[in-house]
Amino acid sequence: MDASTAALSRIGLAGLAVMGQNLALNIAEKGFPISVYNRTISKVDETVDRARNEGHLPLVGQYNPRDFVLSIERPRSVIILVKAGAPVDQTIATLSEHMEAGDCIIDGGNEWYENTERRIQQVADKGILYLGMGVSGGEDGARHGPSLMPGGSYQAYSNVQDILMKVAAQVEDGPCVTYIGEGGSGNFVKMVHNGIEYGDMQLISEAYDVLKHVGGLSNSELAQIFAEWNRGELESFLIEITADIFKVKDESGDGDLVDKILDKTGMKGTGKWTVQQAAELSVAAPTIAASLDCRYLSGLKDERENAANVLKEAGLNDQVGYVKSGIDRKRLIDDVRQALYASKICSYAQGMNLLRAKSDEKGWNLNLGELARIWKGGCIIRAVFLDRIKKAYQRNPNLASLIVDPEFAREMVQRQAAWRRVVGLAISAGISTPGMCASLAYFDTYRRARLPANLVQAQRDLFGAHTYERIDRPGSFHTEWTKLARNGVGALN
């Protein structure tokens, strides 16, 4: 089809792996004519075939960059969904040759936010606008309604706002998309979303571990428990799919499939970026960090198997059987539910605090309540209690932490006894619960008016003359600690 004579498309999408295909079909299904392009021609044909088979959707395949760009109405908006890093730069270079001032490029991949900010400046020289847009929800979300987090040029967002509002997941208080802010804010928000997701998944796996090994629950019982939890305060996509996982039998043999999966967790980098940014901004994110550490340790399968044998020979006994005897299973199940909920609040609190710190540094003016709202549908961390997080920030936009929101504070206090029982039981049984432990330690550290940090600061002053502040008078002080201690003399400052 000749691009010069054909009816022009409203938008274009380049990069037709499954996410790209599904998002393109979603856009077309919502009534927006779309042009698609991929370097591999077979992917274009595949997408065109799907559009025809899924309802003769208004989708047109293009087979070279020039025809693709020229098939889109001005001002042109092009979504690119290719692997982060160099492939994005290569795609931008290829497409921008045929674009003009006022056109827009929208990167929908999991990109490092500083790369987005660099690209904003690069394409600005040609007058091209740029958005870095986080897309959450996986393949199914892309096809039927994802959570979208666009950041960068507001004009570029305005050009496609009507499309994004229809394509995004829909919840009772609107579509799961909002303009995030300037620069790389959209990518940064998606990165932290993924960090929270890491924490969520780790906490759920720990709940499973305790219930399976201390409670002695079967997979069918676990499926029932998680399904029941999904009807209450823990209702969420991750709890729902966990219940489903426990129901699946191994088609290649006997038993349940989950038990046949190698205990090594993969990752693509966004969790690591989140923890690195937390460290850079001096924001405590121990639950997210613990989840990342667990993924690293899971990769050491051979070492872990060897360590199990070496320590067993050294006399380490399995404590699970001892702890398991006399367990009240009904109480354990309810305690684990409460521990999981309280731990999740801490994980989300850490993520939100990281977003606020970055927003303050960059001047993004992020609306944390609105971010919680657009995560209520479409995305991997969608959960019922995100509505309550939204309301907490609506009540107090300057909320220091979710932990001190009156409603969440009350819930944390009500659940702390069960939380401590679960963590204590797991420690006694030798079952690692690093996410729950990190969350509880975060809660206990944050809630204490006075910490042993005074001793640490005294040590720093002793060996490095770093000085210290006092609680009874203003100013900075230094003490010759060793000299005074050994002479038995009081401090003179």
Residues acting as catalytic residues: 190, 197
395 is in an annotated binding site: no
Give the tokens for residue 419: 């939380």
82 is in an annotated binding site: yes
460 is in an annotated binding site: yes
Q: What is the residue type of 120?
A: I
What separation in angstroms does the CA of 344 have from each of 127, 338, 402? 44, 10, 11
136 is in an annotated binding site: yes
- Kindly give the pairing relationship between strand 104-107 and strand 129-136: parallel
376 is in an annotated binding site: no
15 is in an annotated binding site: yes
Give the tokens for residue 359: 């927003």
- Kindly give the pairing relationship between strand 147-152 and strand 59-62: unpaired
Backbone φ and ψ of 398, nearest 5°? -100, 20
194 is in an annotated binding site: yes
Distance CA(10)–CA(34), nearest Å, equals 6
Rg of the chain, C-alpha, whole Å: 26
Distance CA(127)–CA(118), nearest Å, equals 15
268 is in an annotated binding site: yes
Task: For residue 205, give the nearest of 326, 307, 297 by alpha carbon.
Answer: 297
Q: Three-state SS across 75-136?
A: CCEEEECCCCCHHHHHHHHHHHCCCCCCCEEEECCCCCHHHHHHHHHHHHCCCCEEEEEEEE
Strand partners, 107: 80, 132
Q: Let me know how long the chain is.
A: 493
What separation in angstroms does the CA of 106 have from each of 122, 134, 474? 14, 10, 52
Q: Give yes or no for a cis peptide into 474 (omega within 30° of 0).
A: no
384 is in an annotated binding site: no
Structural contact between residues 10 and 73, judged by C-beta atoms closer than 8 angstroms: yes
Backbone φ and ψ of 177, nearest 5°? -150, 145
Q: Which residues contact 181 (CB under 8 A, 6 or more apart)?
A: 151, 359, 364, 365, 366
For 248, other C-beta atoms within 10 Å of its C-beta total 12
48 is in an annotated binding site: no
193 is in an annotated binding site: yes
Distance CA(94)–CA(97), nearest Å, equals 6
110 is in an annotated binding site: yes
Structural contact between residues 149 and 28, judged by C-beta atoms closer than 8 angstroms: no
Distance CA(423)–CA(403), nearest Å, equals 19
169 is in an annotated binding site: no
3-state secondary structure of 237: helix
Distance CA(133)–CA(131), nearest Å, equals 6
DSSP run (H or E) holding 278: helix 270-280
39 is in an annotated binding site: yes
213 is in an annotated binding site: no
84 is in an annotated binding site: yes
493 is in an annotated binding site: no
Binding residues for substrate: 110, 136-138, 193-194, 198, 268, 295, 460, 466
Binding residues: 15-20, 38-40, 82-84, 110, 136-138, 193-194, 198, 268, 295, 460, 466
Binding residues for NADP(+): 15-20, 38-40, 82-84, 110
